[in-house]
Copies of this chain bind each other. A is one copy, B any other.
Amino acid sequence: MTATLRDGFHCPAPIAPAECVVLGHGSGGKLSAALIKHHFLPHLGNPTLAQLGDGAVVDAGTQRIVLSTDTFVVSPLEFRGGNIGTLAINGTVNDLAMMGARPLALTAGFVIEEGLSFEVLDRIVAAMAAAARIAGVEIVAGDTKVVERGKGDGVFINTTGVGLANPAFTPGPHRVRAGDVVLVSGSIGVHGMTILSTRDGLGFDAELASDTACLVPLVDALRDATDGDVRALRDPTRGGLASALNEIAHASRIGVMIEEAALPIPGAVAGACEMLGLDPLYVANEGNFVAFVPPASAAAALDALRAHPLGRDARRIGVAVAENPGLVAMKTSFGGTRIVDLLPGDQLPRIC
């Protein structure tokens, strides 16, 4: 136990190395990476898991399928624009879409805390059904567990998705090359700041609604407009845009240079972030993705995104470069350049 915990100080990033799990290990940042590297991969390591992609490709007889799993622990359970059920469907469907796969079916596992009202549960399950209908997938298997009061927090939902791999469309971070254009398909920071504005006692009430959405049709539009000429896709959820770009830079051993002035940050997000001292680059998104596209396809890609309702705020935000492999840098609005590193812990725990 570290001093940070014994003293009841709940900084998500511990000052001394911890002997136990702390909140920051769930951040999607450096501590999360360390947790996986030191406590999971040494035991479970295999070439597929070690890729740490949004999903894994598995040979199933004559067919290649894609699997992806995600557990949702967002607090509060309900917020403007959706609830934990909406996120649980869209999040996993989107992870399959980021691998270029067509979602086939989902499973759902619920850990319910004793005392959860049926009224809330029904709204959550109805939202899952609505999101699944929009995504065109069914929940084919499920499991429910109940834990005592004080041993859970309303409900946690795991969804695992299976998709059909498309041999003609296999975006992946290892395929990125210097010169690729970096696009983002929509405004950033909206989901995270919506959750934050819903939490008690934070003293701001931005008029925001989560951007949670099924990105399958937007990925389809991008694929069709580029004849599948897309190098990598990633939805910047936990850890935000900065973490997604870092993961791609790390996996592909290229550098990424983005331009601050090009980032689509809505005024309400920028204002709330400034007030709370947060950086929108690290705030979670649930309805957009970053795409790395070869220069020859970039214009068609951007046009296709902007022509779709989910992509109307799409922007070209940067470029992959040969310099500084593994690093993400940003030209600031003031003309300087700064490194955009992974955060050690998290600005905002339990955002998805």
**Residues of A at under 8 Å CB distance from B?**
1, 5, 10, 18-26, 32, 35-36, 39-40, 43-44, 46, 48-49, 53, 55-56, 58-63, 65, 67-73, 75, 104-105, 107-119, 121-122, 125-126, 128-129, 132, 138-148, 150-153, 156, 158, 160, 162, 164, 349-350
Contacts and interface: CB of A to CB of B under 8 A. Distances in A.
A109 B70 contact: yes
A144 B26 contact: yes
Nearest to A121: B39
A125 B21 contact: no
A141 B109 contact: no
A153 B151 contact: yes
Given A20-B117, A72-B145, 5 more contacts: A43-B122, A58-B162, A69-B109, A147-B156, A151-B152
Contacts of A116: 20-21
30 contacts: A18-B118, A22-B146, A23-B148, A26-B145, A26-B146, A39-B122, A40-B125, A40-B144, A43-B122, A44-B129, A44-B139, A46-B140, A48-B140, A48-B141, A49-B138, A53-B141, A56-B140, A58-B140, A69-B108, A69-B141, A69-B158, A71-B109, A71-B110, A73-B145, A73-B147, A109-B160, A145-B350, A151-B152, A151-B153, A152-B152
B58 A104 contact: yes
A109 B91 CA distance: 14
Given A107-B68, A141-B68, A158-B160, A132 B62 contact: no
A43 B104 contact: no
Contacts of A122: 39, 43
B117 A43 contact: no
A19 to B, nearest CB: 6
Consensus secondary structure, chain A interface: mixed
Contacts of A39: 118, 121-122, 125
A55 to B, nearest CB: 6
Contact of A21 (B35, B44, B118, B132): B118
A112 B111 CA distance: 13
Given A48-B140, A122-B39, A128-B44, A162 B71 contact: no
B44 A125 contact: yes
Nearest to A147: B73
B109 A139 contact: no
Chain A to chain B: the 9 pairs with minimum beta-carbon distance, closest first = A26-B146, A69-B107, A160-B160, A56-B140, A158-B158, A71-B109, A151-B153, A63-B63, A43-B129
A65 B68 contact: no
A61 B63 contact: yes
A128 B43 CA distance: 8
Contacts of A75: 151
Contacts of A143: 69-71, 158
